[in-house]
C-alpha cells in the first residue's frame, strides 16, 4: 500500500490532459477510475488507536505570497521552506527563513485567536515541528491530521507526503518511507484562502479560522491493518448486527473478528479479494441505544496483528410516511444548532472539554438532538454525543452558493462527504447526513446535491439523508416545494420569521404548505440578542425580543402536521465577519441562546420550558 491519501492527483492529471486534448476532458472527469489513485486511507476509529501526539507548539512563518513554495515565476520550488534548511557559513546563496527563530503556534488551534495580527489573516502559514521517532519494522506509519483549514501540504524530513483540500475532515498521509529513527521534522503549509471553486465557497456566515485546527499525530499500524469498518444493527433482521470490516494488505481468506464481550457475542469472517469481511451475527440481549439510555458497548475488532477497541451504541433509524422511527418507534427531535466555536475562549472548538461544555448546555436546554452545523465537527463531539445521548445531524460544507456546474467542485464535495461518512459512520448518535445548507434552487444545484445524496446512500444505507432548504412565500403562506426535497428522506427548512422578515407575531398568521409527505425538521429559526441587553419585546437586539420570537415560533411550528423536530439557530454566539454592528454584534452572530462567554439569554429558558414540558412536538 503506497501513495497519497488524497484525490487531488487524478484530478490534476485530468486537468493536465485537458490542456492538450480538450475532447478528453469529459472522459477524464467522468471516469476518474481510469486514473484512480489508491483509495484514501481512512483509519476509522483512529482516536481509539495508540498514537504519538504531535500536538503542542509548532514553529510558524506567515507567508502571504506563498514564497516558501513558489518561485518568482510561480514555479513550485524544489528547495522550498519544507526543506527546513539551516543556513551554513559560506553558503553561496541566502536562506531567508529559519524555523528555529520563528514564533510558535499551538496545535491544535486556529491561528486567528492565537495572535492579534492573525485575526483576519487569510493565506498560507508554514508550520514546523521537530520530533523523535523509532519506527518498527513491518509497519506503516501515518501522519493523522484531524483537520487543516483549508488547503494543506505536508513534508516529513523534506519529502512531500501529502496534499489535502477541505477544512473539516481528517486525513492520513503515509510517512513510512519518509520517517527515520531518532530526529525527524515535519513541515506543513496551511492556506485558508477562500476560493470560488472551494467547498465551502467564498461566502459563509462564520469565521474562516485557519490552521491545524484539530489534533495531529502519528499512527503506526501493522503491514496488514484495519482501515475501515461499519458495524450496525440490522433494520430488517431483529437482533442481528451486520456490516463489514475492511483490511488493507490482507490476503483473501484471512480472517477478521468482531467481539462484543458484554454480550458474549463474537463472529469471525473471511476477508475477500476486495479486502472486506462481511459481518452478520446474533446479539441476544442487546440493549439498544436511545437518548434516555445511551448504552455503549466495548467492541473488539481484530484482523491479523491489528486490533481496535471500539465503544459503540446500536440502534436503528428509519422513516415511515411522515414519521421518524428510532428502534421502530416514532420520535420527535428536540434540538439546537451548534457551530464548532469554542465556548469562553472563542476560536475553533476541538477538545473534549469544548464538546462537553457545548453538549452539556444542549442537555440542560432539554435537547435530545443537535444539528452540528455547517461542516463535520471534531470526533470529540461525536464521541460526547454518543455518550450523552444526543442525536446528531452531521453536515457536508455545501453551503449557500457554490459553483454547482463545475465538476471539480462536485469532486471536492464528494471527497469531503466520503471522508465524513467513512470516518464517523460508527457513531450511534449520527442519524442524519445533511448534504447542504440553503443552496439556490437551480437545476445545476439540484443535480449536484442529488449526486451527493445518491453517493451518501451508497456509502451508508442505514441513515437518513437531509438538507436545509430555503422556503418561499406567497402572502402569509410559506411554501416548501424546493425540488431537492425529492432526493431527501427528511426535509430540513430554515426560516427567520420575526427576524429577517416581519415581526415576532407575524408567525401567528403564517400558514404552511409542504409539498412532500415526508418528516420535516425546522433546521433553523431564531433572532439576534446581545446578552445583558434588556428592553421591550419588540425592541431588536434585546433578550426580550429574541424570547418573543421563540414564544411566537413554537405554537406556529406545532401546527405543522409533519413536524418531527427542530434545531433553532443557535446554541452559542459565534464569530462572523458579516456581523460588524458596533456595541451589539462586534463581529459575532448574536443568535445564540448563550453568549460566547456562557451567559444564558431569556430565550434559552423559553425553549427549555417547551422542551422539558414537551409542549413542542408530537410522537412521544
Ligand atoms: C442561515 C444560515 C446560518 C446563518 C443564519 C443567520 O440561514 O444557515 O449559517 O448564520 O442564517 O444568522 O443568518
Residue whose entry in the numeric block shows the C-alpha cell 486567528: 112
574 CA closest ligand 1 atom index: 10
Give every CB contact of residue 523 below 8 A, 6+ residues apart in sequence: 337, 371, 393, 434, 437, 466, 468, 492, 493, 494, 566, 567
Atom 7 (ligand 1): residue with closest C-alpha? 494
Ligand 1 pocket list (CB less than 6 A): 205, 374, 437-438, 494, 524, 569, 589, 591
pLDDT value at residue 7:
31
Give whole-number Cα distances, 470 to 394, 494, 521, in Å.
18, 6, 12
**Which run of H or E residues covers position 189?**
strand 182-191
pLDDT value at residue 38:
77
Give every CB contact of residue 286 below 8 A, 6+ residues apart in sequence: 233, 239, 241, 263, 314
Task: Tell whether omega for the bond before 570 is within 30 degrees of 0, i.e. cis.
Answer: yes
pLDDT value at residue 27:
37
User: What is the secondary structure of 332-387 as a DSSP string?
Assistant: -EEEEEE-SB-TTT-SB--SHHHHHHHHHHHHHTT-SEEEE-SSPPPHHHHHHHHH
Please say whether the beta carbons of 267 and 258 come within 8 A: yes
How many angstroms is it from 494 CA to the middle of ligand 1?
A: 8
How many angstroms is it from 565 CA to the middle of ligand 1?
A: 18
Atom 10 (ligand 1): residue with closest C-alpha? 205
CA geometry: angle 116, 112, 145, nearest 5 deg: 150
For residue 402, how far is the Cα from the chain centroid? Answer: 18
Let me know if 596 is exposed, middle or buried by CB neighbors in 10 A (0-12, 13-18, 19+).
buried
Residue 111 is classified by DSSP as S
Grid cell locating 212: 491545524
Alpha carbons 147 and 160: distance in angstroms, whole number: 18
Grid cell locating 16: 493536465
How many angstroms is it from 190 CA to the middle of ligand 1?
A: 27
**Residue 526 — left, alpha, or beta (φ > 0 → left; ψ -120 to 50 → alpha)?**
left
pLDDT value at residue 36:
55
Grid cell locating 504: 415576532
pLDDT value at residue 450:
98
Q: Which residues share a beta bridge with 504? A: none
Please say whether the beta carbons of 302 and 254 come within 8 A: no
Please say whether the beta carbons of 413 and 396 come within 8 A: yes
Series of mean pLDDT values for 10-residue runs along the chain (620 residues): 32 36 38 59 98 98 98 97 98 97 98 98 98 96 98 98 98 98 98 98 98 98 98 96 98 97 98 98 97 98 98 98 98 98 98 98 98 98 98 98 98 98 98 98 98 98 98 97 98 98 98 98 98 98 98 97 98 98 98 98 98 82
Give every CB contact of residue 3 below 8 A, 6+ residues apart in sequence: 37, 38, 174
How many angstroms is it from 205 CA to the middle of ligand 1?
A: 6
Alpha carbons 592 and 528: distance in angstroms, whole number: 7
pLDDT value at residue 617:
87
Q: Going edge to edge, which strands form the sheet with 323-326?
A: 317-320, 323-326, 329-330
How many angstroms is it from 619 CA to the middle of ligand 1?
A: 28
- How many helices and strands (H and E) does the chain possess? 8, 33
204 CA closest ligand 1 atom index: 9
The residue to mutate among 524, 571, 588, having the most atoms of ligand 1 within 8 angstroms of its beta carbon, is 524
Alpha carbons 303 and 440: distance in angstroms, whole number: 46
438 CA closest ligand 1 atom index: 8
524 CA closest ligand 1 atom index: 7
How many angstroms is it from 474 CA to the middle of ligand 1?
A: 22
The residue to mutate among 494, 574, 577, 588, having the most atoms of ligand 1 within 8 angstroms of its beta carbon, is 494
Q: How many CB atoms lie within 10 A of CB 37?
A: 16
User: Which parts of 509-602 are beta strand (E)?
Assistant: 511-514, 520-524, 563-566, 574-575, 588-589
Amino acid at each position: 500500500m503506497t501513495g497519497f491519501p488524497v484525490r487531488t492527483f487524478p484530478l490534476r492529471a485530468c486537468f493536465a490532459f485537458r490542456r492538450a486534448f480538450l475532447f478528453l476532458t469529459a472522459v477524464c472527469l467522468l471516469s476518474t477510475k481510469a486514473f484512480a489513485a489508491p483509495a484514501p486511507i481512512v483509519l476509522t476509529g483512529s482516536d481509539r488507536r495508540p498514537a504519538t501526539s504531535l500536538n503542542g507548539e509548532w514553529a510558524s512563518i506567515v507567508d502571504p505570497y506563498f514564497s516558501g513554495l513558489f518561485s518568482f515565476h510561480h514555479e513550485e520550488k524544489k528547495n522550498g521552506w519544507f526543506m527546513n534548511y539551516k543556513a551554513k557559513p559560506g553558503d553561496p546563496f541566502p536562506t531567508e527563513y529559519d524555523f528555529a527563530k520563528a514564533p510558535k503556534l499551538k496545535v491544535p488551534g486556529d491561528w486567528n485567536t492565537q495572535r492579534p495580527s492573525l485575526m483576519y489573516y487569510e493565506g498560507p502559514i508554514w508550520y514546523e515541528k521537530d520530533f523523535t521517532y523509532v519506527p518498527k519494522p513491518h509497519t506503516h506509519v501515518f501522519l493523522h491530521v484531524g483537520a487543516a483549514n483549508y488547503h494543506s501540504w505536508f513534508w516529513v524530513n523534506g519529502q512531500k507526503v501529502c496534499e489535502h483540500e477541505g477544512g473539516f475532515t481528517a486525513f492520513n498521509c503515509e510517512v513510512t518511507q519518509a520517517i527515520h529513527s531518532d530526529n525527524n521534522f515535519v513541515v506543513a503549509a496551511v492556506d485558508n484562502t477562500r476560493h470560488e471553486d472551494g467547498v465551502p465557497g467564498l461566502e459563509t456566515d462564520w469565521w474562516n479560522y485557519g490552521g491545524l485546527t484539530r489534533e495531529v499525530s502519528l499512527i503506526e499500524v501493522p503491514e496488514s491493518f484495519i482501515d475501515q469498518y461499519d458495524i450496525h444493527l440490522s433494520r430488517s433482521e431483529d437482533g442481528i448486527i451486520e456490516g463489514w470490516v475492511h483490511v488493507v494488505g490482507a490476503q483473501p481468506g484471512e480472517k477478521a473478528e468482531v467481539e462484543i464481550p458484554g454480550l458474549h457475542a463474537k463472529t469471525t469472517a473471511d476477508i475477500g479479494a476486495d479486502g472486506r469481511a462481511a459481518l452478520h451475527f446474533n446479539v441476544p440481549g442487546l440493549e439498544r441505544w436511545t437518548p434516555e439510555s445511551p448504552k455503549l458497548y466495548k467492541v473488539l475488532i481484530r484482523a491479523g496483528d491489528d486490533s481496535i477497541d471500539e465503544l459503540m451504541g446500536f440502534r436503528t433509524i428509519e422513516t415511515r410516511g411522515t414519521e421518524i422511527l428510532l428502534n421502530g418507534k416514532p420520535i420527535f427531535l428536540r434540538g439546537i444548532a451548534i457551530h464548532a466555536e469554542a465556548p469562553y475562549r472563542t476560536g475553533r472548538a476541538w477538545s473534549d472539554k469544548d464538546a462537553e461544555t457545548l453538549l452539556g448546555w444542549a442537555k440542560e436546554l432539554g435537547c435530545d438532538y443537535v444539528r452540528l452545523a455547517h461542516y463535520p465537527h471534531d470526533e470529540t463531539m461525536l464521541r460526547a454525543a454518543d455518550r450523552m445521548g444526543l442525536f446528531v445531524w452531521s453536515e457536508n460544507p455545501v453551503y449557500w452558493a457554490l459553483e454547482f456546474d463545475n465538476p471539480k467542485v462536485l469532486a471536492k464535495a464528494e471527497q469531503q462527504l466520503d471522508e465524513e461518512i467513512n470516518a464517523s459512520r460508527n457513531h450511534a448518535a449520527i442519524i442524519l447526513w445533511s448534504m447542504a445548507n440553503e443552496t439556490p434552487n437551480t437545476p445545476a444545484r439540484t443535480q449536484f446535491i442529488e449526486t451527493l445524496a445518491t453517493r451518501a446512500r451508497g456509502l451508508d444505507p442505514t441513515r437518513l439523508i437531509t438538507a436545509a432548504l430555503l422556503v418561499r412565500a406567497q402572502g402569509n403562506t410559506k411554501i416548501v416545494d424546493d425540488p431537492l426535497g425529492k432526493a431527501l428522506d427528511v426535509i430540513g427548512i430554515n426560516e427567520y420569521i420575526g427576524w429577517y422578515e416581519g415581526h415576532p407575531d407575524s408567525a401567528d398568521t403564517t400558514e404552511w404548505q409542504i409539498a412532500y409527505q415526508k418528516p420535516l425538521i425546522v433546521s433553523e429559526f431564531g433572532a439576534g440578542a446581545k446578552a445583558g441587553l434588556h428592553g421591550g419585546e419588540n425592541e431588536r437586539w434585546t433578550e426580550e425580543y429574541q424570547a418573543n420570537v421563540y414564544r411566537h415560533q413554537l405554537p406556529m411550528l406545532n401546527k405543522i402536521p409533519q413536524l418531527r423536530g427542530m434545531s433553532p439557530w443557535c446554541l452559542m454566539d459565534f464569530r462572523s465577519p458579516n456581523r460588524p454592528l458596533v456595541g451589539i454584534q462586534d463581529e459575532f452572530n448574536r443568535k445564540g441562546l448563550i453568549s460566547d462567554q456562557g451567559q444564558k439569554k431569556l430565550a434559552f429558558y423559553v425553549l427549555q420550558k417547551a422542551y422539558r414540558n414537551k409542549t413542542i412536538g408530537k410522537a412521544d
